[in-house]
Chains A and B, each alone.
Chain A
């Protein structure tokens, strides 16, 4: 894969937590490359470092060793404000728990990244309304997170992740808290939006069936190295 066609290029990533006897090495010397437009599933047992990997790629955390290049941008030396701008403009997150702000209704939650980018409230809300319509929740715009079902919360979360029309979508077990019907519906939604918006997507999941529907699967093993790189079946 050439440098220019890769959206994510991570090399020699290492990350651990704690110090001394309580030190845990979560990721060690991990290499990962995701091409532009790819949908990649990251699978592996709990505690193996899937979320940590996603946080590193999403610039929510810094690796102790290694480099991350996103769409040709070397991110290691970026100042915090520049990292924040990249997160805002180029990366969309969907978390396992919806992580919607409980003080904001669905519309304002989706509009928040647009407001952060400096757009006026009206512009942000108009864009958010379109996205809520796209995820089938236009009638729930004024509902607060605790007035939405789990599936609806996650769909709002997906809409929020796409509010800034990012290049890269990172989803951390987006269906982990949903029943199978809602999980299937959400996964189909993510897949549709991935294709429609021309995204590059990395999805952490425990669901093997869904992982197989992605373009590629990365399996993380206990020793925290990338043990297998399986092409879509």
Chain B
């Protein structure tokens, strides 16, 4: 049997009525409930995506997009050859050679352990804000970086140290907890190794930073180079996992509104089933099978769900878009990285919200539909 009869009757129940009936009232209440739930979820997730995309942008702006380490040992053999291989295969990729270690960094007032990174793309000394606060130093101040490596002197073995002026205070990576000092690579190599050693290679790319690690891994695997490669996802897995978990938790928590709206829809569809008991019996008498009656109620529930969730999604996305574009919700300066509450509308997320709302609407309609389909047609006529 085609769906035409069910669709026809459902459409007349929903929009064809010529006067204000309880069916119209409960339909509007159900529409409002589902629409409100979807609206709230879309706006909340757009807000969360806005903040999270800000964090992701910060990661892309400040962190490596991919890093390469030796498969065994600490030094990369023939780093120049590896760099030219990557440059040739990946095109416009920024390649930075690095060494890393932990040193004691001291100022006139304090000394704290910190990560020391030597980079081939800098000739200045940069200290991040975490370390500068701990040491109480600013740009132009001098700090001493003391290595665990020792050299023999006439006075016996002494740790290798350099004294340098801070050129710049940098913003730490999102989630960073320990301080960091960045040195020109030659100074870091002297401090940590005493010779020209490359421990890691950092890759950066503007076009598609999130897949750079995969592409670099493929190139190096095909060339038979034994190195380890980590992309953005691997380098920042704890933070990205926390962000994903946060989104899931918010989805579930705010999504409970949809569950409440679906329960409301269930009650309302059950009320329609009770009010239209005689009509349903007549329709069964005219040949509506139990499965047709089930489909009729599913069409009713899904129609309400579709209109409510699409309206909620459109209004929610529209509001998030306007608030993001106008920057209407300002934030205190200096506290956050952004000046206004950011919103980001992800079509996949909006689609998922609408799909969940529709699924819940179908479930809510299915229970009364099952009840209606189980009745003998004469029941509705007998109690008329």
Do B5 and A101 touch (CB < 8 A)?
Answer: no
Please indicate the chain B residues that have their CB under 8 angstroms from the CB of A58 in the complex.
285
A222 within 8 A of B: no
Which residues 65-124 of A have a CB within 8 angstroms of B?
A: 80-81, 84-85, 87-89, 93, 95, 97, 99, 101, 103-104, 108, 112-113, 115-121
Which residues 6-61 of A have a CB within 8 angstroms of B?
A: 51-52, 55, 58, 60-61
Known contacts A85-B287, A113-B287; A101 and B282 CB within 8 A of each other: yes
Known contacts A61-B378, A120-B4, A121-B4; A103 and B284 CB within 8 A of each other: no
- Interface residue count for A (Cβ, 8 Å)? 34
B228 within 8 A of A: no
Please indicate the chain B residues that have their CB under 8 angstroms from the CB of A87 in the complex.
284-287, 377
Distance between Cα atoms of A108 and B285 in the complex (Å): 16
Please indicate the chain A residues that have their CB under 8 angstroms from the CB of B1 in the complex.
116-118
Do B4 and A55 touch (CB < 8 A)?
Answer: no
Which residues 118-150 of A have a CB within 8 angstroms of B?
A: 118-121, 144
Closest to A115 in B: B5
Nearest-Cβ distance from residue A204 to partner chain B, whole angstroms: 13
Please indicate the chain A residues that have their CB under 8 angstroms from the CB of B286 in the complex.
87-88, 93, 112-113, 116, 160
Closest to A81 in B: B289
Distance between Cα atoms of A126 and B95 in the complex (Å): 76
B274 within 8 A of A: no
Nearest-Cβ distance from residue A105 to partner chain B, whole angstroms: 9
User: When the two chains form the complex, which single residue of B12, B278, B287, B291 contacts A104, counting CB atoms closer than 8 Å?
Assistant: B12
- Interface residue count for B (Cβ, 8 Å)? 31
Do B283 and A112 touch (CB < 8 A)?
Answer: yes
Do B284 and A60 touch (CB < 8 A)?
Answer: yes
Distance between Cα atoms of A108 and B11 in the complex (Å): 13
User: When the two chains form the complex, which single residue of B12, B290, B381, B384 contacts A84, counting CB atoms closer than 8 Å?
Assistant: B290
Please indicate the chain B residues that have their CB under 8 angstroms from the CB of A116 in the complex.
1, 5, 283, 286-288, 292
Known contacts A118-B2, A121-B4; A80 and B289 CB within 8 A of each other: yes
Do B284 and A108 touch (CB < 8 A)?
Answer: no
Nearest-Cβ distance from residue B292 to partner chain A, whole angstroms: 7
User: When the two chains form the complex, which single residue of A60, A62, A97 contacts B285, counting CB atoms closer than 8 Å?
Assistant: A60
User: When the two chains form the complex, which single residue of B4, B278, B377, B382 contacts A115, counting CB atoms closer than 8 Å?
Assistant: B4
Distance between Cα atoms of A209 and B208 in the complex (Å): 91
Please indicate the chain A residues that have their CB under 8 angstroms from the CB of B159 in the complex.
none
Known contacts A62-B376, A116-B1; A103 and B283 CB within 8 A of each other: no
Chain B, 1-34, contact with A by CB distance < 8 Å: what is the 0/1 string?
1101100110011001110000000000000000
Distance between Cα atoms of A105 and B12 in the complex (Å): 10
Please indicate the chain A residues that have their CB under 8 angstroms from the CB of B12 in the complex.
101, 103-104, 108
User: When the two chains form the complex, which single residue of B289, B291, B292, B377 contacts A60, counting CB atoms closer than 8 Å?
Assistant: B377
Nearest-Cβ distance from residue B282 to partner chain A, whole angstroms: 5
Do A97 and B384 touch (CB < 8 A)?
Answer: yes
Chain B, 278-320, contact with A by CB distance < 8 Å: what is the 0/1 string?
1101111111111110000000000000000000000000000
Known contacts A84-B289, A118-B2; A99 and B282 CB within 8 A of each other: yes
Closest to A82 in B: B289
* Most chain A CB atoms below 10 A, which of B9, B17, B288, B289: B289
Please indicate the chain B residues that have their CB under 8 angstroms from the CB of A80 in the complex.
289-290
Please indicate the chain B residues that have their CB under 8 angstroms from the CB of A61 in the complex.
376-378
Do B4 and A88 touch (CB < 8 A)?
Answer: no
Do B288 and A99 touch (CB < 8 A)?
Answer: no
Closest to A90 in B: B287
Please indicate the chain A residues that have their CB under 8 angstroms from the CB of B290 in the complex.
80-81, 84
Which residues 365-380 of B have a CB within 8 angstroms of A?
A: 376-378
User: When the two chains form the complex, which single residue of A52, A62, A84, A95 contacts B284, counting CB atoms closer than 8 Å?
Assistant: A84
Chain A, 170-208, contact with B by CB distance < 8 Å: what is the 0/1 string?
000000000000000000000000000000000000000
Do B17 and A103 touch (CB < 8 A)?
Answer: yes
Do A95 and B287 touch (CB < 8 A)?
Answer: no
Closest to B2 in A: A118
Please indicate the chain B residues that have their CB under 8 angstroms from the CB of A119 in the complex.
4
Please indicate the chain B residues that have their CB under 8 angstroms from the CB of A85 in the complex.
287, 289
Distance between Cα atoms of A99 and B280 in the complex (Å): 10
Distance between Cα atoms of A61 and B377 in the complex (Å): 7
Do A117 and B376 touch (CB < 8 A)?
Answer: no
Please indicate the chain B residues that have their CB under 8 angstroms from the CB of A88 in the complex.
286-287
Nearest-Cβ distance from residue B275 to partner chain A, whole angstroms: 11
Please indicate the chain A residues that have their CB under 8 angstroms from the CB of B288 in the complex.
84, 116
7 A-B pairs with C-beta separation under 8 A: A84-B287, A87-B284, A88-B286, A93-B286, A113-B286, A119-B4, A120-B4
Q: Which residues of A contact B (CB under 8 A)?
A: 51-52, 55, 58, 60-62, 80-81, 84-85, 87-89, 93, 95, 97, 99, 101, 103-104, 108, 112-113, 115-121, 144, 160, 164
Nearest 5 CB-CB pairings of A with B = A88-B287, A84-B289, A61-B378, A115-B5, A103-B12
